[in-house]
């Protein structure tokens, strides 16, 4: 049985994240109107889709960078966790500001529970 090395697993995660970002690009291309003509809710959805694909890419690339300098595995976990927190907090703040600025009328016909999950 072959064992997958950490670098291989991170490379695969990076490839999947790039694929998700490409899917977001496909979503934009097949919309009949330009992004500037979209509703604020649709632009927010696109923002969430891009953020959810770019975040794992950045995390994977950072971990691959750490593997090149070969620190102890405990340090890698600490550094990656700290990097993830530092990356997620601003993203969380921006997303919550955008979500709070959306009105109830913009959510008409949208299940808010499913949308935010």
Residue spans of the domains in the chain: they are 7-116
Cβ count within 10 A of residue 59 = 19
Prediction pTM value: 0.71
pLDDT given at position 82: 93
Categorize the per-residue pLDDT at 4 as very low, low, confident or very high, splitting at 50, 70 and 90. low
pLDDT given at position 35: 73
* pLDDT tens, residue by residue, 39-50: 888 888 888 888
* pLDDT tens, residue by residue, 63-112: 888 888 877 878 888 998 999 999 999 998 998 898 888 887 887 777 76
């Amino acid at each position: 049985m072959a064992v997958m090395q950490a670098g291989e697993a991170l490379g695969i995660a990076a490839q999947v994240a790039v694929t998700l970002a490409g899917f977001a690009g496909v979503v934009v291309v097949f919309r009949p109107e330009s992004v500037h003509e979209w509703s604020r809710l649709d632009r927010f959805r696109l923002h969430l889709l891009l953020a959810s694909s770019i975040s794992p890419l950045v995390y994977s690339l950072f971990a691959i960078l750490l593997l090149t300098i070969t620190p102890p595995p405990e340090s890698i976990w600490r550094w990656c966790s700290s990097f993830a927190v530092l990356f997620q907090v601003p993203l969380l703040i921006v997303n919550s500001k955008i979500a709070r600025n959306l009105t109830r009328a913009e959510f008409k016909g949208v299940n808010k529970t499913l949308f935010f999950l």
